[in-house]
Each structure stands twice: as C-alpha cells, then as structure tokens.
Structure 1
Amino acid sequence: MVLKDWLARITGFEKRNDSADPSWAALAPGIGYMAGVSARAAENLSTVLACTNAIATALAYVPALVYRVDSDGNRVEAMSHPLRRIARGGANPQMTWPDWLEHLVASALLTGNGLAEIIRAGNGQLSGFRWIPWGMVTVVYLSSGRLAYDVTDGRGGTRRLLESEVLHLRDRTDDGLVGRSRLSRAADTVAGVQASNAFAKSFLERGAQPSGVIRHPGAMTLEQKASLREQFNSNYSGAANAGKTLILDGGLEWQAAQISPEDAELLESRKFGVVEVCRLFQVPPPIVQAYENNTFTNASQAGLWFATFCLAPWARKIEAEFARSVFPSNGPYELELDLSGFLRGDPATRWQAHEIALRNNVLDANEVRQIEGWNPRKAEPAGVRSPPPANQGEQSHV
C-alpha cells in the first residue's frame, strides 16, 4: 500500500474505484426479492400493490417542513433553506417532490432499499435528488468500513457513489447495512396468496366450471381419446365457451366432478390472503378497500391506526436518513413530515381539543388557525373595536 492510500484510509476517505474491494453483487439485485419472484411480479398481487401505493402516496402527500433548531431547542421553520424549495419546486427537472418520494418509499417497501443520489451545486449547496432503481445498484463494502454504491446506466457503464453522496432508505436489515424486504421475509405467505390467485385465474379460464369425466361404454383407441380431448377443449373449455350446450353421441356420457369453488374455500382463502398481506405492511384492511367485517367505528379509527403504526415509523426513518446524509453533522436543520392531518381525528374531537388548549393557554387563536390551515387574524388598531354581530343578544330557539 502506497503512502497516499494509507493516509487516505486512516483519515476516512474512500476511493471511488478500487478493484480490490469485495463486492456484494448478490445482495443488491436479489435480497429485496421474495423466493423466485421479483418485486415487480409481486405487485401483480392487488393487495401488495394497494398497500405499497397507500403508504408511499400518503408519505409523498404530507407537507415536508424544514426547521432550524436554535441552541435552546426552539424550532423555527427555515423558509429560505434549499430543501424547502426542492419540496415545493421538484426533486429534479423530471420529478416533483411527491413523485420522487413515492418512488423512494415504494422501492424500500418492495425491495427493502430505496436509493437516491444527492445532487449538489458547484458550491456544495443542495440542489436536488435523483431516484435510482435498486435493481441497478451493486453494494460495495470498502476497506474503510463504509459502503459504496456502483450504479449501472443500462448501457454497460458504471459509476460509483459514496455513502455521503446518497440517501439510502432501508427496511429492517439482517446485517445493519443493506435492507431486506418484508416480502422476502414472508416468502411462503406471499407465495400462498399468489397460488390462490393463480388457482382462481385458472378456474375462470376454464369457464368457471369444475372438470368432469366423459364415460364411454366400450374401449377407445389412443387416437379416439386424443381427438375427443382436442374437440372438447376447443369447443367447451374456457371462459368464452361457458354455458354452451354439451352434445355427446356414440354412447358417451358426461359426469361432472362433485366439487365446487365453495367446497375448495376459494373465496375465503383469497379474503384471508388480503389480510395476510395487509399484516405484512401494517396497513389496516379498510385502507385498501377490504371492508369485510367492517363497521363505522373501526373504519373511523383505521386512518388513525394507519398513521400511528404504519406511516409514523416510515416518516421517522426518512427524517433520520435526511439528518444523516443531507444535513451537515450536528447541524441546526431538520426535516419533518407533517402527519398532523392524519392524526387530527374527526372535526368534533379536533375542535374540542382546540377549546381545551385555548382555555388552558396552551395555544392562542392564531395558533389554532394555523393548525387548521388558516391565515392569522389581523390585529385591530388600538382603541378600535369591531361592531358586535347583528343578532348579538338574541336567543335562538331550536
């Protein structure tokens, strides 16, 4: 090892191209996939797609606020910070902030890892983010103990991004470095749901009729059997031929198999599959339009449950990753994804809470108006009082 490499290593710098670094090529494209099925194929399951969209879209929808924290711990919204402009103007020229964040979260949900390149201007100021599909990434463990990310461009070219140049959103990991998707952790469960859907598809393709037996009073040659099978499949098999009248001659008799989709519990197994996948993603079934055993009471609580136990942990992950990779170490800035819109509850409960806060001087009227998304009320000039309402003093009779 030459002197400059030794000095770079002990001071924490990494080399962008080091052929001696062991590559974790097996981890990047494959670890986020369930057994034998890619994450893209898993989205063929409607519940996987619905859960992924519900979480990713909700987090992309909420306001992204940037705060500056002073030495006393007080927070003031940083209106001039570049991240605030990015959250409103777009992550890059091709993607708005909601589009970019939705891609990042969906990738983390399906593959266990969401990766984005941090784009900075020539002066080092933050200028945007670029989402990178995880299937195009190979993770490299450098001799310094840090990670690097080799990204292919789809045309044979590769470039290396260092740990400080990316925002890496992980699902729970096995090694503390690369995330592993919950689809791969529960591969048997997802495969069972997929098998149930495949059976239903095959059942419908056969015309939604159970198979049966054709009886012949005598012996048939192999050629006769093959001809009968071909004619039967072409004329009476499939959803397009469902309901056709079956005509048999030559002493042939049809005997339907004594099994029905209810006997096979097809519908119940598919309903249970929806709940199983929802359980993997911590999404209440009503959020993905699964209303079995649903009531008005638990439906009204589904949004609160969704925000508290599903969205809030992912929002905290995103905020912590921004603190690690985007903002300077121990800097005064922090990102907050504002979930208050999900947590405020119904209007009656919310305004009762506001009334208690006003009565106990926890909030003032303008702070309540700000929470509700209204502009502050202008202060009246000294000595001037607004006229009372025209009906003041009148009693209403209901």
Structure 2
Amino acid sequence: MRLADRLLSRLGYERRDASDPSWAALAPGIGYTASLSARAAENLATVLACTNAIASAIGSIPALVYRRDAEGNRTEVASHPVARLCRVGANPGMSWPDTIEHWIASALLTGNGLLAIERSGNGQLSGLRWLPWGMVTVAELSSGRLAYDYADGRGNVRRYLESEVLHLRDRTDDGKIGRSRLSRAAETVQAAHAANTAASSFLANGARPSGLIEVPGTMKPEQRQSLREQIQGTHEGAANAGRTMVLDGGMTWKANQISPEDAELLETRQFAVVELCRLFQVPPPIIQDYSHNTFTNSAQAGLWFATFCLAPWARKIEAEFARSVLPTGYELELDLSGFLRGDPETRWNAHKIAIETGVLDADEVRQIEGWNPRKEEPAGVRSPAPANQGEQSHV
C-alpha cells in the first residue's frame, strides 16, 4: 500500500481498486468493455443519435421551481436561485441547456453524471458545474458515504463530498455507482461495432466493380489497355451516366449483383439500429430511422418518447434536485408539456377543454403559450363575446 493510501485509511478514507469488477466504471477511460470505451461507442451513429436526442430534449425542457404550502397548493418561485440558474445559465461558461445536456449524456454513456454545486460566501447556491466522469475518482468513506476526487487535467485535484454534488445515476448494482446500460448489453453493442468495422473494412479494402466484361479468348495487353481507356473516357462520371455501351468481338456485359453475404451484412447493421434504440428507449423515428415507419406510429413517436424515455429521466432529475439542492417544501418540475407545441391542433384542443371545464381561464392559457395576460378594458368597453356565447345569449 502506498504511503498516501495508508495516511488516507487512517483518516477514515478508503480507496477502491479500479480493477474490482463492481467498481470498474470508476476508472478513467474504462467504459463498459475492455475493448470498447464509452467514447468509442459514440462512433456508432445510433448510440450518438439516441444520446443526443435524449440529452438535448431534456436540456430544452422548461425547468420551474415551486413552493408547496401545508395544504398542498403550489406557487411558482421565480426568484429562487435554481430558477435563476435556469434563466441566466448554470455557470459563467455554460448555459442551463448545455449543462443539463452534458450531465444527461454522461449518465447515458457511463451510467453516472456529476454536477458540482457552487455556493457564494453566504452559502447560497450560485452555480452548477459539470464534471466529466472520466476525470473523477470515487472513494468510499468509513461512514459509507462517497467522496469524489476531481482532477482538472492541470495537476489540481479537488475532493467533493456527497452534499456538494448532484450525482445522476443510471440503474446501479450496488446502490452507489451507476452502471451504463451499454455495459449491460455489451454483446449487442459489440456486435453493432463489429458490423460497422466489417463494413468500413470492406469499403476501404474491397474491390467491387459495378459490372464485368467477358471476352472470348485472351486479350493482349495493348487491347486490354485500349478497352479500359475507351470505357473510362466514354462511360465513367456523372455526365456519361446512361450512355449506351457498344461491345464487339464477342464481348458481353454482366452487371455485378450484391451477394447474399453482403445483403446479410446490411440487414445486420439495420437490425443493430433497432437493438440500440431498445437500449435507450428511443423510438426509431426519433433518430430518423423510417424503415418501418407509418403515419400512425410516426405521429405517436414523440408522445411515446416523452412518456417512456424522457419522463423517467426527468423524474430522476427532479428527485436529485430535491435531495441535494432544494430545501423542504420546494420542488423542481421539468415541464414536458412543451412537447405538445409541435402539434398545434392537439395543444389548442387541450386548452379549449381546460377552459370549458373551468380548469384554466384565458389568461392562464396565454401564460402557458408565453403571452402576457390581456390588459384590463376601460370602463364601458367590452370585448366582443365568442360566437357560441353570443348565440346562446339570444336563446
């Protein structure tokens, strides 16, 4: 044991060996398999697209802070420090959407996302700073709580305690450190990576002509060179596409068709897209895979995405803020209703029902849409009543 480790153990600290399988995710550079890191996994277009879709969507969701009274009623608190960070930025270098996007992407790829809580001199929350998980070493203290040692890459190391960070975890095996879903389905990811590697090698090293010219007998070198130059000068390039080829001397043209092996490789790569989408709970149309798309499932993809993919992550974020940052009686809400803004008919039908049933009034609907309330009308002046109300008044 090194001298530093012995001193730390006397102070009640414990350093875990990164080679321990249950703590393997703590070591920088280790993703989910020995041969493919989380960073390398983003070379798979589906992994990158799913990660970006989830992270950017949650980063764009309006975040609101509420105070709940003893009777359970909620009041929005726009002056709360968390609400201020949502408006002006989580820290001087990153906006709120950027910070949340990095936080979520880290949790998706490594199973863990970490935000350092920054406070002013009076202890008030002043900022949130994203810490790359690959630059963090986790130690378990004698109390059972975790300590996070962050190396900034310039030789400086700072220790954060659990109360000083927001630790977003994917599902864990030990209740402390999250485990990436990529690691739980490592064979699936490896298969997709192998298919991509095979396709890249084929394109880089393979020779696949579009067709073959069969010649009876044996051609002399000068005849072969003359034929090659004739074909290149007459038929190669976009400008010569579709030109008729004239062959003489008994020569015949045969188009080169895709082999069953190559067709199987294409199907494997297509199936890998669906498999990786399953890992992240992302409907394929969200990442522009329309191979099995219909009008009906395309229209429902956004709703499915918000309900089964974004909502669980939003609830995790709300719970982590309630645990680490917000005092008792306050709560953070990520408003997923913003996803209905892409469907005006559904949105306004919902507003209409809310007004007719007395759930909302017109000014509350205007507020939801981001508009100011109607100005109070001068005495003696009345706005024209809606057509249906005007008709009812004469009955």
Question: Which TM-score band applies after superposition, normalised by the shorter structure?
Answer: 0.7 to 0.9
Cα distance in 2 for residues equivalent to 1:16 and 1:384: 77
Cα distance in 2 for residues equivalent to 1:185 and 1:314: 18
Cα distance in 2 for residues equivalent to 1:349 and 1:125: 41
Amino acid across the alignment from 2:38: A
- Contact between 2:12 and 2:142, CA under 8 Å: does it hold in 1? no
Residues 203, 81 of structure 1: alpha-carbon distance in 2 compared, 3 angstrom cutoff: same
The corresponding residue for 1:310 is 309
- Contact between 2:340 and 2:347, CA under 8 Å: does it hold in 1? no
Amino acid across the alignment from 1:339: L
- Equivalenced residue count is 332
Secondary structure in 1 aligned to 2:290?
coil
The corresponding residue for 2:286 is 287
The corresponding residue for 2:372 is 375
Cα distance in 2 for residues equivalent to 1:122 and 1:109: 34
The corresponding residue for 2:362 is 365
The range that moved more, 370-379 or 44-53, is: 370-379
Secondary structure in 1 aligned to 2:271?
helix
Q: Percent identity?
A: 72
Cα distance in 1 for residues equivalent to 2:43 and 2:11: 39
- Contact between 1:287 and 1:302, CA under 8 Å: does it hold in 2? yes
The Cα of 1:134 is off from its aligned counterpart by 0.6
Cα-to-partner distance string for 1:308-330 (whole Å, 9 max, x where unaligned): 000000010011001111123xx
Cα-to-partner distance string for 1:36-77 (whole Å, 9 max, x where unaligned): 211111100000000000000001111111111111111111
13, 16, 38: which is aligned to 1:21? 13
- Unaligned stretches of 5+ residues in structure 2: 1-6, 210-235, 237-255
The corresponding residue for 1:151 is 150
Amino acid across the alignment from 1:131: W
Cα distance in 1 for residues equivalent to 2:123 and 2:67: 19
Query: TM-score of the superposition, structure 2-length normalised?
Result: 0.78
The Cα of 1:288 is off from its aligned counterpart by 0.5
Residues 294, 37 of structure 1: alpha-carbon distance in 2 compared, 3 angstrom cutoff: same
- Contact between 1:171 and 1:181, CA under 8 Å: does it hold in 2? yes
Amino acid across the alignment from 1:109: L
Cα distance in 1 for residues equivalent to 2:159 and 2:56: 30
The range that moved more, 185-194 or 369-378, is: 369-378
Report 1:73-92 matches (<5 A).
73-92=72-91
- Contact between 1:32 and 1:112, CA under 8 Å: does it hold in 2? no
The corresponding residue for 1:341 is 338
The corresponding residue for 1:227 is none
Give the number of the structure whose residues are more often helix, by fraction: 2
The corresponding residue for 2:239 is none
356, 373, 383: which is aligned to 1:386? 383
- Contact between 1:261 and 1:267, CA under 8 Å: does it hold in 2? no
- Unaligned stretches of 5+ residues in structure 1: 1-14, 211-242, 244-256
The range that moved more, 185-194 or 157-166, is: 157-166
The corresponding residue for 1:107 is 106
Amino acid across the alignment from 1:29: A
Q: CA RMSD in A?
A: 2.7
The Cα of 1:354 is off from its aligned counterpart by 2.3
Amino acid across the alignment from 1:373: G
- Contact between 2:114 and 2:130, CA under 8 Å: does it hold in 1? yes
Residues 349, 25 of structure 1: alpha-carbon distance in 2 compared, 3 angstrom cutoff: same
Residues 326, 18 of structure 1: alpha-carbon distance in 2 compared, 3 angstrom cutoff: farther
Amino acid across the alignment from 1:314: W
Cα distance in 2 for residues equivalent to 1:334 and 1:393: 43
- Contact between 1:319 and 1:334, CA under 8 Å: does it hold in 2? yes
Secondary structure in 2 aligned to 1:351?
helix
